[in-house]
Amino acid sequence: MSRGFALRVLVTVPVFLLAILLISIGAKLAPWGLGIVVFAIGLALLLPEESLRATLHTGGVAHHKVGDPSGPAGIGAVLHSESGEVIGQIARSIGVVTNTVADYIALSEGLQMALDRGVKDLNVYVDSPLVAGHLVEGYRVRADHLRPLVEHVRQQLDQFSTWSLTRVPRELNLEADQLASRGIDEAIGEVRFPELISLPSPATNR
């Protein structure tokens, strides 16, 4: 049960009980009881919804050969609650694509995971300079095949009450990258990262 729901119950239930008591006492007090019911309903509607905050790390990995930017790719994402609890993970293969496409798909699926869990305020961490450049640093999207991905991610970000996206060094995004690599390995029957490294999220200024 969320704290917002618990607050509504704590405030409105005693008021409703008082209203029922007044109505049951007699006709003279019934209007007061009905008035209290209306007041309680209005109060419940005015109470603020709980704002669920979370942190998302995402990363894409493509095992490509020299001279060929595409290769077998995987995506990884891990969603942490405000208290640091893991509330969602993604690790899967996505076929043969470039690193940048994998990074965008990982970000998009991670954002959708956060939305599905009711997250309102989200801090996102990626290690792709191009993704961060497109979304927060004003880089022009030059590759035609990336434009639909960039636009879709922007639409997803707009669904959050507040969000931030920060580029971090890869060593601070290892958990997401390991999940992405595990997605590739599981697709070919090899799990190279059975143990994931949990790292604290870097501080960010809103």
Mark out the alpha helices in 118-173 (DSSP H runs).
129-136, 147-157
If pLDDT is split at 50, 70 and 90, which confidence band does 90 have?
Answer: very high
pLDDT for position 144: 95
d(CA 125, CA 134): 14
With respect to residue 153, please indicate whether it lies within any of the assigned structural domains: yes
18-28, pLDDT tens digit by residue?
A: 556 555 665 55
141-194, pLDDT tens digit by residue?
A: 999 999 999 999 999 999 999 999 999 999 999 999 999 999 888 765 543 433
112 phi/psi in degrees, rounded to 5: -65, -40
- The percent of residues above 70 in pLDDT, for the chain, comes to 66
Most distant pair of Cα atoms in the chain: their distance: 87
pLDDT for position 23: 56
pLDDT for position 10: 57
The answer on pLDDT for 61 being more than 60 is yes
State the average pLDDT over residues 102-112. Answer: 97
With respect to residue 199, please indicate whether it lies within any of the assigned structural domains: no
Q: How does 158-186 read in b/e, with b if 16+ C-beta sit within 10 Å?
A: eebeebbbbbbeeebbbbbbbbbbbbbbb
Total structural domains in the chain?
Answer: 2
**23 and 122 part of one domain:** no
Tokens of 206: 């809103």
CATH number at residue 173: 3.30.420.10
pLDDT for position 200: 43
Report pTM: 0.69
Domain that holds residue 14: 3-46
Assign 102 to helix, strand or coil.
helix
With respect to residue 197, please indicate whether it lies within any of the assigned structural domains: no
